[in-house]
Amino acid sequence: MSSAPRALRVLVVEDEASTREELADLLGDVPEVEEVYTAESGTRAVQLLGATAFDAVFLDISMPGLDGMDVARVIGRLSAPPAIVFVTASESHAIEAFGIGAVDYLLKPVRPERLAESVSRVAAAHRAATDDGGDEPRDELAVVQIDHGRRTVFVRRDDVQFVEAHGDYIRLHTAQGTHLIRLSLSYLEEIWAPAGFVRVHRGYLVAIDWVHDLRVTSSSGLVACTPAGDVPVSRRHARSLKERLLDAARSGQLGRAAR
């Protein structure tokens, strides 16, 4: 017999304070919901998604900056994405919303009984996903999914040696080649920091485990050397990088991944 599923942890993303608080209160009254987090913007939502495992995101569409569709696309790249429920004042995005896999689409103002129905859908999807009894903590973006038209590539974070910014995109450098994906370098820096990725330049992150030495070149100045290539290190980040590498050397981690 499978164990009872744990109660749900949900995130409310809404830029309008009164609506955000009301929706959070309503969700807090639903028996299946254990914890409710809130985010006032798409940017804040992405930060929380990188640090915390959620079962569902109740997501407004029309927001300044990163809108709900932008956040939904980020969610779709997570290794274990939470269910998405759009909460909006307009029906115009419904087709697009279900096209990207939304569990439900709620119109404002949200009625409590309609919200409870939506949570039931999320709970059912959650039970189906956890029927194997596994309840291990999620490691967000341990695997990055990259869609190339009809082909999908899965890149393991542990294989990425450094990351390079390309406008609105980033390029992941591995021993097998490079992969371009639409994410921000700052976002990846935040959620991959616990895995040993550090900022070494305005446009670069490097995985400490892949660095085998530092070198001064005539063309680029100080660079961190990895098997996939040399990574420029700015003066601003040089000291902190050297300290991290020294700590890694003391613990026997320096260059471990490259061995």
pLDDT in tens, 7-32: 899 999 999 999 999 999 999 999 88
Quick check: is 134 in a domain? no
- 168 and 113 in a common domain: no
- Tell me whether residue 1 is in a domain: no
Q: In terms of domains, do 152 and 209 share one?
A: yes
Instruction: For residues 105 and 218, state if they share a domain.
Output: no
Residue 15 gets which letter from DSSP?
S
Quote the tokens at residue 172.
Answer: 């992941």
CATH number for position 245: 2.40.50.1020
Cβ atoms of residues 41 and 61 within 8 Å: no
Q: Is 2 contained in some domain?
A: no
Same domain, 16 and 84: yes
Residue 160: its H or E element? strand 160-166
90-99, 116-125, 245-254: range with lowest mean pLDDT: 90-99
pLDDT at position 1 over 50: no
Whether 242 and 154 map to the same domain: the answer is yes
Distance CA(107)–CA(109), nearest Å, equals 6
Quick check: is 137 in a domain? no
17 and 44 housed in the same domain: yes
User: How far is Cα 233 from Cα 202, in angstroms, rounded to an integer?
Assistant: 9
3 state DSSP class of 7:
coil
In a domain, 154, yes or no: yes
Is the pLDDT confidence value at 210 over 80?
yes
Nearby residues of 258 by Cβ (< 8 Å), 6 or more positions away? 209, 210, 211, 212, 226, 227
* Residue percentage of the chain with pLDDT more than 90: 47
Mean pLDDT of 164-190: 88
Question: Does residue 16 share a domain with residue 124?
Answer: yes
For residues 164 and 83, membership in a common domain is answered with: no
pLDDT at 77: 85
Reported as a single tens digit per residue, the pLDDT across 219-229 is 889 999 999 99
In this structure, are 177 and 115 located in the same domain?
Answer: no
| Domain-located, residue 136 | no
Are residue 111 and residue 155 in the same domain, yes or no? no
Decide if 244 is inside a domain.
Answer: yes
Domain count, the chain: 2
Computed over every residue of the chain, the mean pLDDT equals: 85
> pLDDT by residue (tens digit) across 105-137?
888 899 998 898 889 888 887 776 665 444 444
Tell whether 17 and 121 lie within a shared domain: yes
Report residue 168 as tokens.
């609105």
Residue ranges making up the domain that contains 224: 145-258
Q: What is the CATH number of the domain that holds 71?
A: 3.40.50.2300
Same domain, 84 and 151: no
In whole angstroms, give the CA distance from residue 205 to residue 23.
Answer: 38
> Which of 97, 129, 161 is the last residue before a domain boundary?
129
